[in-house]
């Protein structure tokens, strides 16, 4: 289990990036969900030993991740939001380089490890291709391969599917799901709700450096049972409805506007019908509600 207690971070520009974040994360896939600028990357960099917090604690399997950086890095696999690769190296050469950095000194052991990793991320056929020629999805899969070297017990992936096409996103989802085992914590930091709903058995929502909620996606959706309503209305009626109802989202549909709202109990209007709640409803409702109160 990963224990995070009261982590705080203020940047030199006086931006309060983290305001006392505390989380208990068990093995499996954990989704950290929040809008851009919420503090997700700051938290990930602290856990990856790349950034010092002002105060707080983080511990996993008896290792103090803040004080014992060597111990933390030995148990860590990290795929940052933006990462550089040498474009002139092949996939095999790239993984060979990372394996050496992670202490795999025996050449035969490295070769066997690289073969297994390339097979696992479906890049065996591209092993001799230069990384500079890779698509975005291939780069991300190679990034996961390097994160898996040395069988880490903590894997951190930061916004891994941003910019991927739908096919590559599905492929990457399957790969991430396969990496999460009984004794491994995989933290997925993202602003894409579907990534969390498809992959994660536990989650937290962060906004402006604060944890707004921490629960399972199933529990989150259950909280909105019976309170989500939907209507397709002419565009000229939208402003009036939004002024009197708590609106979650609006989408254009066949020249009209599809409106989703929260209303406990009573039907909010004759044009509305009950709708099945989703994790996106919960996320948008929570973030907009706390935003309006701030």
Task: Name the architecture of domain 2-216.
Answer: 3-Layer(aba) Sandwich (3.40)
Return the pLDDT at 25: 96
Q: How confident is the model at residue 294 (pLDDT cuts 50, 70, 90)?
A: very low
pTM listed for this prediction: 0.89
Q: In terms of pLDDT, which residue wins out, 171 or 221?
A: 221
73 Cβ neighbours under 8 A, 6+ residues apart: 49
Return the pLDDT at 205: 97
Could you give the CA distance from residue 174 to residue 134 in angstroms, rounded to a whole number? 20
DSSP SS3 for 234: coil
Name the residue ranges covered by the structural domains of the chain.
Answer: 2-216, 226-276
**185 bridge partner residues:** 28, 154
Written as six digits, the tokens of 43 are 């938290």
Give burial (CB, 10 Å; 0-12/13-18/19+) of 236: exposed
Instruction: Report phi then psi at 28, rounded to 5.
Output: 115, -170
Inform me whether the pLDDT recorded for 290 exceeds 70.
no
Closest CA to 58 of 32, 25, 90: 25
Q: Could you give the percent of the chain with pLDDT greater than 90?
A: 71
Could you give the CA distance from residue 159 to residue 168 in angstroms, rounded to a whole number? 14
164 Cβ neighbours under 8 A, 6+ residues apart: 136, 137, 140, 172
Mean pLDDT within 63-85: 92
Q: Write out pLDDT tens, residues 141-169.
A: 999 999 999 889 999 999 888 778 888 88
Q: Compute the mean pLDDT over every residue in the chain, rounded to the nearest whole number.
A: 91
Mean pLDDT within 184-206: 93
> Which of 22-26, 71-75, 217-221, 253-257 is predicted with the least confidence, judged by mean pLDDT?
253-257
Helix (H) or strand (E) holding 132: none
Inform me whether the pLDDT recorded for 255 exceeds 90.
no
Tokens 């709903």, located at residue: 197
Give burial (CB, 10 Å; 0-12/13-18/19+) of 13: exposed
Eight-class DSSP state of 138: H
Inform me whether the pLDDT recorded for 292 exceeds 70.
no
Could you give the CA distance from residue 184 to residue 159 in angstroms, rounded to a whole number? 19
Could you give the CA distance from residue 60 to residue 42 in angstroms, rounded to a whole number? 18
Could you give the CA distance from residue 188 to residue 279 in angstroms, rounded to a whole number? 16
Cα 173 to the center of its chain, rounded Å? 11
DSSP SS3 for 177: helix
Q: Write out pLDDT tens, residues 34-48.
A: 998 899 999 999 999
Inform me whether the pLDDT recorded for 215 exceeds 70.
yes
265 Cβ neighbours under 8 A, 6+ residues apart: 226, 227
**136-147 vs 107-120: helix axis angle to the nearest 10?**
130
Return the pLDDT at 182: 64
């Amino acid at each position: 289990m990963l224990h995070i207690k009261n982590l705080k971070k203020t940047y030199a520009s006086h931006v309060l990036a983290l305001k006392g974040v505390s989380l208990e994360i068990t093995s499996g896939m954990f989704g950290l969900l929040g809008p851009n600028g919420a503090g997700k990357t700051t938290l990930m960099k602290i856990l990856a030993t790349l950034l010092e917090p002002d105060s707080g604690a983080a511990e996993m399997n008896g290792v103090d991740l803040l004080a014992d950086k060597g111990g933390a890095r030995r148990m860590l696999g990290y795929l940052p939001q933006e990462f550089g690769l040498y474009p002139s190296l092949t996939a095999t050469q790239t993984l060979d380089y990372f394996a050496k950095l992670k202490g795999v000194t025996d050449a035969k052991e490295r070769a066997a490890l690289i073969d297994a990793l390339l097979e696992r991320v479906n890049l065996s056929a591209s092993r001799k291709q230069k990384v500079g020629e890779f698509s975005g999805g291939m780069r991300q899969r190679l990034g996961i391969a390097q994160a898996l070297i040395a069988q880490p017990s903590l894997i951190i992936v930061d916004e891994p599917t941003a910019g991927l096409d739908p096919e590559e996103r599905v492929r990457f989802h399957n790969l991430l799901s396969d990496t999460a085992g009984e004794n491994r914590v995989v933290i997925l930091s993202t602003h894409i709700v579907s990534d969390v709903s498809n992959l994660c058995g536990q989650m937290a929502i962060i906004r402006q450096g604060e944890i707004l909620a921490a629960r399972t996606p199933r529990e989150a959706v259950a909280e909105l049972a019976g309170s989500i309503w939907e209507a397709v209305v002419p565009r000229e009626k939208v402003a009036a409805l939004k002024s009197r109802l708590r609106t979650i989202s609006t989408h254009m549909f066949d020249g009209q506007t599809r409106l989703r709202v929260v209303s406990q109990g009573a039907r909010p209007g004759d044009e509305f019908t009950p709708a099945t709640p989703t994790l996106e409803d919960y996320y948008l409702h929570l973030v907009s509600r706390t935003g309006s109160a701030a």
